[in-house]
Structure 1
Amino acid sequence: MSPLMRRVLHPLVLLTFFALSAFHTWPLVSQLNGYVMGGREDVYMNMWHLWWMRQALWVQPQNPFFAPFLHWPLGAELYWHTLAPAKTLWGVVLLPFMSVETAYNVVLFGSFVLTGYTSWLLFRYLLERAGHGPWLAAAAALAGACVFNFSRYHLTHATAHLNLSALEGLPLYLLCFFRWLDEGKRKWLVGLALCAVYVLLCDYYYLVYIALFSLLWVVAERWKRGPLLSVDTWRDPLVRRAAVAGITAGLACVPPLVPLLLHAFPAPLQIHHGDSDYFTDLYAFFIPDTRSAWMTELPAKAREFSLNVMRMKMSTNAEETGTFLGWVTPLLAVFALWRGVPEGRRWLGLGLGFAVLSMGTVLNIGLEDRVSPVVLLIVTFLVVALVPAWRERVWRRDVLLLLGLAVYLALSEPLTAFNVPLKVQIPMPYVVFKHVVPLFSRGGMPVRFILLTVLSLSVLVAFAAAHAGAWASRRDARLGVAVALAVALIPNVEYRGLEMVVPSIPRLPPVFDEIRDAPMPAAVLTDNVQGQWEQMFHGKPVSYARVSRLPVRESAMVNSRLIRAAEGMRNAFGTVTPEEREEMRRYLKEHHFKWYVTHYFHPVRHQFITDELGGEMVHQDGYVTVYRFP
């Protein structure tokens, strides 16, 4: 490939992923201004992040990880929070030229374009390293990049989670990691460290993901060469390079990690989800989620399963259901393994291992966490049948026959105990993993490990496209490239979703002009994250803060009766004693709360605000109700 063609190739790939990203996120690119992707509460929080980063770093320079005008008068700590500085720093650059919702849409859309490009760089390198020609590698890498970039995981999280949508750093880190191990050049070590910092500044857990992946990769590579626990291990050049990579990346990540560690004790409270709330059902790997375009064409039972996953297992968090791996796409991975992939067993093992971790603490099959023990027999049968090291064992055939007979008998007649079918909970590796790996016992989300399964799947699909293209290249090299590009259509069809929800931004009524123009000191009591978002327009302190983890120092204020009532907690509206009434009114006056803004009108809450707090309703419409305090 000539230098000129190489220069043209990269802009062409970027343009391709721009077009594909526009297709998968439609109608986002046609509604950048006045509308916002997703419209969930996290989206309002993320828009506030963009605005806050500009305020903290440019308008009024201060610590961006402490917001004095949230959780007023205490202030809100944003250390253990999904602030995603690598993405929200763009607010400093973009907000002078566009509205905050446009800036958010641009940053989110840019993550898709960049993720496609960086994953393409990784897969092209792996293919060229395996001996495929430059043009075929470039075309086949596109297929793998489409799997990773347009996976259901990425598309569903894009509706709410800016931090989790920022995937571009992961493949770029792995590119530098592999090239450092292969070549030992200093530039790849520097790139690896910078990518680790970037990943950390997108999402804390993604740093744990790449660290875990790197460790497992090096351990597997060392096992190929000899025992892990031996003197030769530390003499192995690969192990030495991996150790240097780990130390360098760790040192690079020290500055952003130190504030996290300093604010880790006492442990922040997990107010939104615990350590194992969301997990993957076995069926959910192969049944599309409710936002998939295939949802309307599924059989009734499959549609019902998908709907029940969201209702029963994920509550209202539809973005956590994006675990669909496809139907043809996994078959492409099987084809690649059959044709041969360098370290193919390792990619397969990592993909399956992380899929198992994504299933949480106990096995779920068809939304049932109590299953027949025959599942254990089937798993044992598959392990004995598929583990390569056991293929030459003399006992293998006899054991397989015995296990096969046991499985047949267990399936033909249910296993029973006390004359009823026996159902048991089967513990999964994550139940131990979360207590061994740091941080996961403080709010880890097992379902999100599916991302690393998708990464392994995308590598195998890239090799499947390369093998298909190599076969076609026997007739014509151009035909081989065309076949490899055609393979890329498969994940784009399988992972396509319904049109993205892009609701309009609320139009604020004139009463917000009054709040904005009021002289300080003045503050706003409010009930949810939209009240936090409105701070961008009126600039006054607010009582609310949408934080991922609640610092202990803020919990007393959040749990006070006044704040619970403002946020609509039902247990706050009982009988109020004269002493409590006086205390709440004094609190409002001392901290200059002049207004109460609620986005959900209810007669009980209205009576509490007017009778107990002395508020006077000054505005009400379909979006907001506003009270003024004396």
Structure 2
Amino acid sequence: MSPLARRALHPLVLGVFVLLSAFHTWPLVSHLKGYVLGGREDVYMNMWHLGWMRQAVWLQPQNPFFAPLLHWPLGAELYWHTLSPAKTLWGVVLLPWMPVETAYNVVMFGSFVLTGYTSWLLLRYLLERAGHGPWLAAAAALAGACVFDFSRYHLLHATAHLNLSALEGLPLYLYCFFRWLDEGRRRWLAGLAACALYVLLCDYYYLVYIALFSLLWVVAERWKRGPLVSLDTWKDPLVRRAAAAGLAAGLACVPPIVPLLLHAFPAPLQIHHGDSDYFADLYAFFIPDTQSAWMVSLPAKVREFSLDIVRTKMSTNAEETGTFLGWVTPLLAAFALWRGVPDGRRWLGLGLGFAVLSMGTVLNIGMEDRLSPVVLLLGITLGVALVPAWRERVWRRDVLLLLAIAVYLSWAEPLTAFGQPLKVQIPLPYVVFKHVVPLFSRGGMPVRFVLLTMLSLAVLVAFAAAHAGAWASRWDARLGVAVALAVAVVPNVEYRGLLMSMPPVPQLPPVFEEIRDAPMPVAVLTDNVQGQWEQLFHGKPVSYARLSRLPVRESALVDSRLIRAAEGMRSAFTPVPPEEREEMRRFLKEHHFKWYVTHLFHPVRHRFIEEELGGELVHRDGYVTVYRFH
């Protein structure tokens, strides 16, 4: 392939991913203005982030990690929060030219295009390094990139989480990481450091992901060469380059990490989720989620299973159910392993290992976490069968036969205790992992480790496409490229979803112009994240802040009766003593709260605002109810 043709591939691949991204996120590109992808509460929060970053970085330069206009009068700390500066900084560039919802839609769409392109870069390099020709490698890499880019994980999180949808930095980091290990050129060291910083500024946990992945890769490579603990370990060029990579990435990430550490104690409150709320069910790897296009044609029991995950385990967070690996896609990975993949067992081990971590603290099968011990016995049997084969040693056939008989007998005659079928919880590695790896005991989400499983799956599918193309190339090289491209159809079909939800952005009534034009000092009491989003339009401080983790210093304000009543919490509407009533009214006056904006009218709250706080109803429609304080 000529240098000119290699350069021409890059815009071509970008164009392909523009089209594929439009297909998978449809009707996003036709509803850029006046509508917003997903429409969940996190989406309104992220739109506010775009406007805030423009104000803090460009219009009125200040610390972007402290927002004085939220949680008024305290202000809101945004350190341990999903601010995602690498994405929300686009507000500085985009908002002068387009509405905030359009800017958000463009940034989200761009994440799909960039993730596809960076995944393609990584996979093409791995294929060419393995000896595949440039044209075949470019085509086969496209198939693997579609697995990672359009995974159910990515498509579902795109409906709510800007930070978790920013996947483009992970494959780009690994691209630089592998090239640094292979070539030792300084530009790749600088590249991996810059990518690590970018990943950190997208999502804090993704930095831990790539650090963990890099460590495991280097340990496995060193183990293949010799003992991990020996005098020769430090002399190994691989170990030295890995150490340099860790040092460079660590130094690049120091500026944003230092403020995090300074605000880590006392530990922020986990107000939205704990450390192990959401997990992957074993069945859910092979049963589509509720937003998959396959759900409309699957049996009723399969649809009910996915609905039960959302209803009983994931609450309203349907995006956490994006663990579907596909049916044919895993078979392509198995085909690649059969034909041969450089470091194939390592990619398989990493993929399976992260899948196990994604299953949380205990094993769940079919939404049940109390299982027959025969499941554990079966797992031990498989371990005894597979581990010797993995390490290329002789199977212990006598032990394996004994275990197989025990499994059969246990299956044929259910195990009981005190006359009842015995059910146990089977602990998984994550129960230890979250206490060993920093940060995961403060809100880690095990189910999201499936992202790294998808990355390993993407590598194996890329090699499957390359092997299929190499077979066809025996007749014609162009046919081989076509076959490799045809493999890309599989993940695009298996992972496609229903039409993306694109609810319209609310039209604000004229009362917001009155709030906007009111002379300062004026503040707005409000009840949810839409009130935070409205702050972009009226520009006045608001009482609400949607925070991933709540700093302890802000908890007293959030727990006060006034704020709890504003946010509609039932515990706030008990009888109010006269002295407390006067205290709440004095607080409103001292901090210039002139308006209360609520997005849910309720008679109890209405009486509380009028009788206890002295509010006057000035506007009410299907979207919002507004009161004025005198």
Give me the TM-score of the superposition, normalised by structure 2: 0.99
Letter aligned with residue 594 of structure 1 = K
Pair 1:437-2:423 in alignment: no
- Kindly provide the CA deviation profile for residues 184-242 of structure 1, in whole angstroms up to 9, marking residues without a partner as x: 00000000000000000000000000000000000000100111111111111100100
Give the whole-Å Cα distance in 2 for the aligned partners of 1:297 and 1:512. Answer: 46
Query: Residues 393 and 484 (structure 1 numbering): CA distance in 2 closer, same or farther, change over 3 Å?
Result: closer
- 2:471 aligned partner: 471
Give the whole-Å Cα distance in 1 for the aligned partners of 2:81 and 2:152. Answer: 24
- State whether residues 65 and 78 of structure 2, in contact with CA within 8 Å, keep that contact through their aligned partners in structure 1: yes
Q: Displacement of 1:384 after TM fit?
A: 1.6
- Kindly provide the CA deviation profile for residues 67-93 of structure 1, in whole angstroms up to 9, marking residues without a partner as x: 001000000000000000000000000
Letter aligned with residue 356 of structure 1 = V
- 1:455 aligned partner: 455
- 1:141 aligned partner: 141
Give the whole-Å Cα distance in 1 for the aligned partners of 2:94 and 2:395. Answer: 67
Give the whole-Å Cα distance in 1 for the aligned partners of 2:229 and 2:434. Answer: 25
Give the whole-Å Cα distance in 2 for the aligned partners of 1:149 and 1:579. Answer: 58
Once the two structures are superposed, the pairs formed by residues 149-548 of structure 1 within 5 Å of their partners are 149-388=149-388, 396-548=396-548
- State whether residues 388 and 394 of structure 2, in contact with CA within 8 Å, keep that contact through their aligned partners in structure 1: no
Give the whole-Å Cα distance in 2 for the aligned partners of 1:394 and 1:609. Answer: 76
Deviates more, 1:128-137 or 1:393-402: 393-402
Deviates more, 1:46-55 or 1:227-236: 227-236
Q: Displacement of 1:393 after TM fit?
A: 5.8
- State whether residues 124 and 141 of structure 2, in contact with CA within 8 Å, keep that contact through their aligned partners in structure 1: yes
Percent identity among equivalent residues? 86
- Kindly provide the CA deviation profile for residues 448-501 of structure 1, in whole angstroms up to 9, marking residues without a partner as x: 000000000000000000000000100110010000000000000000000000
Give the whole-Å Cα distance in 2 for the aligned partners of 1:597 and 1:165. Answer: 31
Deviates more, 1:466-475 or 1:397-406: 397-406
Letter aligned with residue 30 of structure 2 = S
Query: Residues 16 and 379 (structure 1 numbering): CA distance in 2 closer, same or farther, change over 3 Å?
Result: same
- 2:622 aligned partner: 622
- State whether residues 51 and 95 of structure 1, in contact with CA within 8 Å, keep that contact through their aligned partners in structure 2: yes
Give the whole-Å Cα distance in 2 for the aligned partners of 1:389 and 1:331. Answer: 20
- State whether residues 384 and 390 of structure 1, in contact with CA within 8 Å, keep that contact through their aligned partners in structure 2: no
Give the whole-Å Cα distance in 2 for the aligned partners of 1:551 and 1:217. Answer: 36
Letter aligned with residue 406 of structure 1 = A
Give the superposed CA RMSD: 0.9
Letter aligned with residue 200 of structure 1 = L
- 1:18 aligned partner: 18
Q: Displacement of 1:606 after TM fit?
A: 0.5
Query: Residues 395 and 33 (structure 1 numbering): CA distance in 2 closer, same or farther, change over 3 Å?
Result: closer
Once the two structures are superposed, the pairs formed by residues 2-41 of structure 1 within 5 Å of their partners are 2-41=2-41
Q: Displacement of 1:522 after TM fit?
A: 0.3
Letter aligned with residue 29 of structure 2 = V
Give the whole-Å Cα distance in 2 for the aligned partners of 1:624 and 1:173. Answer: 45
Q: Displacement of 1:391 after TM fit?
A: 7.5
Give the whole-Å Cα distance in 2 for the aligned partners of 1:329 and 1:131. Answer: 23
- State whether residues 385 and 395 of structure 2, in contact with CA within 8 Å, keep that contact through their aligned partners in structure 1: no
Pair 1:550-2:553 in alignment: no
Letter aligned with residue 546 of structure 1 = R
Letter aligned with residue 513 of structure 2 = D
Give the whole-Å Cα distance in 2 for the aligned partners of 1:558 and 1:109. Answer: 35
Query: Residues 52 and 395 (structure 1 numbering): CA distance in 2 closer, same or farther, change over 3 Å?
Result: closer
Query: Residues 73 and 392 (structure 1 numbering): CA distance in 2 closer, same or farther, change over 3 Å?
Result: closer
- State whether residues 390 and 396 of structure 1, in contact with CA within 8 Å, keep that contact through their aligned partners in structure 2: no
Give the whole-Å Cα distance in 1 for the aligned partners of 2:85 and 2:392. Answer: 53
SS of equivalent residue, structure 2 residue 233:
helix
Letter aligned with residue 550 of structure 2 = L
Q: Displacement of 1:387 after TM fit?
A: 1.7
Letter aligned with residue 495 of structure 1 = Y
Give the whole-Å Cα distance in 1 for the aligned partners of 2:18 and 2:486. Answer: 18
- Kindly provide the CA deviation profile for residues 248-298 of structure 1, in whole angstroms up to 9, marking residues without a partner as x: 110110001011011001110000000000001000000000000001111
Query: Residues 267 and 506 (structure 1 numbering): CA distance in 2 closer, same or farther, change over 3 Å?
Result: same
Q: Displacement of 1:380 after TM fit?
A: 1.2
- 2:129 aligned partner: 129
Give the whole-Å Cα distance in 2 for the aligned partners of 1:548 and 1:58. Answer: 25
SS of equivalent residue, structure 2 residue 210:
helix
Give the whole-Å Cα distance in 2 for the aligned partners of 1:236 and 1:429. Answer: 30
Q: Displacement of 1:390 after TM fit?
A: 7.3
Q: Which runs of 5+ in 2 are unaligned?
A: none
Give the whole-Å Cα distance in 1 for the aligned partners of 2:413 and 2:143. Answer: 45
Letter aligned with residue 340 of structure 1 = G
- State whether residues 389 and 395 of structure 2, in contact with CA within 8 Å, keep that contact through their aligned partners in structure 1: no
Letter aligned with residue 170 of structure 1 = L
Give the whole-Å Cα distance in 2 for the aligned partners of 1:285 and 1:585. Answer: 54
SS of equivalent residue, structure 2 residue 597:
strand
Q: Displacement of 1:396 after TM fit?
A: 0.8
SS of equivalent residue, structure 1 residue 597:
strand
Deviates more, 1:193-202 or 1:386-395: 386-395
Q: Displacement of 1:389 after TM fit?
A: 5.2
- 1:50 aligned partner: 50
Once the two structures are superposed, the pairs formed by residues 596-611 of structure 1 within 5 Å of their partners are 596-611=596-611
Give the whole-Å Cα distance in 2 for the aligned partners of 1:474 and 1:545. Answer: 62
Give the whole-Å Cα distance in 2 for the aligned partners of 1:614 and 1:34. Answer: 36
- State whether residues 388 and 395 of structure 2, in contact with CA within 8 Å, keep that contact through their aligned partners in structure 1: no
Give me the TM-score of the superposition, normalised by structure 1: 0.99
Give the whole-Å Cα distance in 1 for the aligned partners of 2:464 and 2:315. Answer: 37
Give the whole-Å Cα distance in 1 for the aligned partners of 2:146 and 2:255. Answer: 34
Letter aligned with residue 610 of structure 2 = T
- Kindly provide the CA deviation profile for residues 318-371 of structure 1, in whole angstroms up to 9, marking residues without a partner as x: 110000000000000000000000000000000000000000011100000100
- State whether residues 33 and 99 of structure 2, in contact with CA within 8 Å, keep that contact through their aligned partners in structure 1: yes
Deviates more, 1:237-246 or 1:225-234: 225-234
- 2:582 aligned partner: 582
- Kindly provide the CA deviation profile for residues 513-554 of structure 1, in whole angstroms up to 9, marking residues without a partner as x: 100000000000000000000001000000000010100010
- 2:104 aligned partner: 104
Letter aligned with residue 612 of structure 2 = E
SS of equivalent residue, structure 1 residue 618:
strand
Letter aligned with residue 590 of structure 1 = E
Letter aligned with residue 80 of structure 1 = W
Structure 1 segments, 4+ long, off by >3 Å, are 388-395
SS of equivalent residue, structure 1 residue 231:
coil
Letter aligned with residue 201 of structure 1 = L
May I ask how many residue pairs the two structures share in their alignment?
630
Q: Displacement of 1:395 after TM fit?
A: 6.5
Give the whole-Å Cα distance in 2 for the aligned partners of 1:194 and 1:269. Answer: 31
Q: Displacement of 1:388 after TM fit?
A: 3.8
Letter aligned with residue 152 of structure 1 = R
Letter aligned with residue 499 of structure 2 = E
Query: Residues 476 and 71 (structure 1 numbering): CA distance in 2 closer, same or farther, change over 3 Å?
Result: same
